[in-house]
Amino acid sequence: MSYLYVNEDGVVVSIEGNRCTAKYKDGMIKYMPIEALEGIVIMGRSQLTTYCMEQCLERGINVSFFSKGGRYFGRLHSTGHVKTDRQRRQCELYDSQFAIDLSKRIISAKLKNQEVVLRRYERSKNIALPEIDNMLDICRKKVAECKDVYEIMGYEGQGAKYYFDGLSKCINEEFVFHGRSRRPPLDEFNSMIGLGYSVLMNEIYGKIEEKGLNPYFGFIHRDAEKHPTLASDLMEEWRAVLVDATVMGIINGNEISKDDFVKNLDEPGCYLNKNGVGILIKKLEKKFQTDVKYLDYVDYPVSFRHAMMLQMNQLVKAIESEDATQYLPIQIR
């Protein structure tokens, strides 16, 4: 299963026979078998035919809309997978020991994954950052002692500052950044991970819906207007593994240049241009399709994309049993 990314204005996406077609303004047409299509991502001002939207809703194909700069607008939503009993139970667990226990497991795994990713780039650059590595380890151990979600997120925030400080010392000099910046991203690195996180959230959002859960009823992130907090929760263990590592690889592998970015595209800040978006999306898609053996509860390799779905199955089991130990976050080695 794969996604169709439309990164140009004026494209018309339709269904013809058993194929999804994307017709470009210059006359070029791209085809994809409908059976192999998991989602469509529109980045810019393109459109889907009415029949295409009907088929996507009927088949459960995720359709989402972004600005050219990567700002998420929304998605085509089907009610075909909604499970109200499951959502009621999910909502009831918001302020509970379950939420605290699940938060500890996910944030601990996130901090561990950040440690592993950072050490990889320390080795690749032949540098050592023992103080930062040590502080990440301390934050992870402190999470295990926390009594509430707010305290857990405090250590998560501290760990993030150390982690990004470390990455900034391992990146090619041309792309050095000074901390995490959002809305708008102030530099090329933040522009890339911002778009990458949006793509990742879109993947997870769709998988949450497939399991009949409510993307807006989170456990770690507190309720926020118009924000899918459960998707944010479930992104945490994947951020460093999928997005940060991909972006660092693109930059340190000299696969992108500053010519692939623009200032003040849709809003103030630094954003990828069409070519830059294409580079990042292609690498992320390749990453999503990479087979790995990082899940402790399966003894065979699965793609990262399939692993995200298996994790969703684990979450459903945890919610239905009200036992957070049923959820085993991914931890890389």
* Residue 78 clears pLDDT 80, i.e. is over it: no
Q: What is the pTM of this model?
A: 0.86
pLDDT in tens, 10-25: 899 998 888 888 898 8
pLDDT in tens, 129-186: 999 999 999 999 999 999 999 999 999 999 999 999 999 999 998 898 887 877 788 8
Distances from the Cα of 294 to the Cαs of 206, 283, 297, in angstroms?
A: 22, 20, 9
Q: Which residues contact 217 (CB under 8 A, 6 or more apart)?
A: 87, 90, 91, 94, 229, 230
pLDDT in tens, 87-137: 899 889 988 999 999 999 999 999 999 999 999 999 988 999 999 999 999
Q: What is the number of alpha carbons within 13 Å of residue 276 lying toward its C-beta?
A: 24
SS3 139: helix
Q: Are 222 and 176 in contact (CB under 8 A)?
A: no
> Assign residue 71 a region: left if phi > 0, alpha if psi is -120 to 50, beta otherwise?
beta
Q: Among 101-110, 288-297, 310-319, whose mean pLDDT is lowest?
A: 288-297
* Residue 224 clears pLDDT 70, i.e. is over it: no
| Share of residues in the chain with pLDDT > 90 (%) | 49
Structure confidence at residue 327 (pLDDT) = 94
Structure confidence at residue 226 (pLDDT) = 67
Beta bridge partners of 291: 303
In terms of Cα–Cα distance, which of 39, 18, 22, 42 is closest to 31?
A: 22
Q: Are 257 and 224 in contact (CB under 8 A)?
A: no
pLDDT band at residue 69, thresholds of 50, 70 and 90? Answer: low
Q: Among 49-58, 99-108, 198-207, 219-228, whose mean pLDDT is lowest?
A: 219-228
User: What's the rounded mean pLDDT across residues 279-286?
Assistant: 92
Average pLDDT of every residue of the chain? 89
Q: Which two tokens stand for residue 120?
A: 């990889």
Structure confidence at residue 267 (pLDDT) = 66
User: What's the rounded mean pLDDT across residues 52-68?
Assistant: 84
Q: Which helix (H) or strand (E) holds 302?
A: strand 302-303
Residue recorded with tokens 């009200």: 322
